[in-house]
């Protein structure tokens, strides 16, 4: 540890000790009694003054050990300009329903969610044939979701299977962000 780091650590420890001493002194006083002028111990006042003068000389980086804060926030991916939402209603059991032709931006995932008021299970699949087979579908309950990294919404099919606990009018909703300059 460098000498500057040791000095800063000692300053921080003494500051904490001074604060703890001041709090202990205040806690020992009877409730509702205001401190009269000059009753604060002079040693504590000297210690607080020394700490305050030392802290004023420190930069924020030295005081915290952290880098200077930056007002420039850069993230990946950048904030998007909108969202695309689509939903499918199970109008009849035993039928599959394809999502519309909506391209998904590269690197984005689509969230498929069972509608909160669904009474049964809606099944998600990757093809028409899979959507009608209980062995090749993903069950989606009310308020449950699955994220899929696909190229287009129309790669997903949903169905309500009579043998699988589905109900007419259950819904699946899909949502994806889209980057600036693309999408609806």
How far is it, in rounded angstroms, from Cα 183 to Cα 164?
Answer: 35
Confirm whether 184 is domain-assigned.
no
Question: In this structure, what token pair is assigned to residue 37?
Answer: 């002028």
Single pTM value for the model: 0.54
At 55, is the secondary structure helix, strand, or coil? helix
CA 65 to chain centroid = 26
pLDDT over threshold 60, residue 24:
yes
Confirm whether 74 is domain-assigned.
no
How far is it, in rounded angstroms, from Cα 35 to Cα 38?
Answer: 8
At 112, is the secondary structure helix, strand, or coil? strand
107 in the same domain as 50: no
137 in the same domain as 57: no
- pLDDT tens digits, residue range 143-173? 999 999 999 999 999 998 877 788 888 989 9
The band of 62, judged by pLDDT with boundaries at 50, 70 and 90, is: low
The full DSSP string for 149-177 is: --SBGGG-EEE--GGGT--TT-EEEEEEE
| Ramachandran sector of residue 183 (left: φ over 0; alpha: ψ -120 to 50; beta: rest) | left
Asked if 156 and 99 touch (Cβ cutoff 8 Å), the reply is yes
- Domain holding 141: CATH number? 2.60.120.10
149 in the same domain as 90: yes
- pLDDT tens digits, residue range 97-147? 999 999 988 888 899 999 999 999 999 999 998 988 889 999 999 999 999
Q: Which residues constitute the domain of residue 42?
A: 3-64
How far is it, in rounded angstroms, from Cα 109 to Cα 98?
Answer: 18
Total domains in the fold of the chain: 2
pLDDT score for 177: 77
pLDDT over threshold 60, residue 92:
yes
Confirm whether 69 is domain-assigned.
no
134 in the same domain as 94: yes
The full DSSP string for 63-101 is: HHSSPPP-S----SSPPPSEEEEEEEE--STT-EEEPP-
149 in the same domain as 102: yes
Confirm whether 70 is domain-assigned.
no
């Amino acid at each position: 540890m460098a000498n500057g780091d040791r000095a800063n650590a000692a300053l921080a420890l003494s500051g904490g000790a001074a604060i703890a001493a001041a709090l202990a002194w205040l806690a020992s006083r009877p409730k509702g009694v205001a401190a009269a002028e000059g009753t604060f111990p002079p040693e504590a006042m000297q210690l607080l003054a020394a700490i305050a003068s030392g802290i004023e000389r420190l930069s924020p980086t030295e005081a915290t050990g952290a880098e200077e804060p930056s007002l420039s926030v850069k993230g990946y991916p950048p904030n998007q300009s909108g969202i695309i939402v689509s939903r499918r209603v199970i109008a009849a059991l035993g039928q599959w329903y394809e999502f519309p032709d909506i391209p998904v931006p590269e690197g984005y995932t689509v969230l498929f969610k069972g509608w909160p008021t669904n009474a049964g299970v809606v099944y998600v699949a990757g093809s028409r044939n899979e959507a009608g087979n209980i062995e090749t579908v993903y069950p989606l309950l009310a308020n449950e979701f699955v994220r899929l990294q696909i190229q287009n919404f129309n790669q997903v099919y949903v169905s309500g299977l009579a043998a699988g606990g589905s109900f007419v009018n259950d819904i699946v909703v899909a949502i994806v962000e889209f980057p600036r300059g693309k999408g609806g």
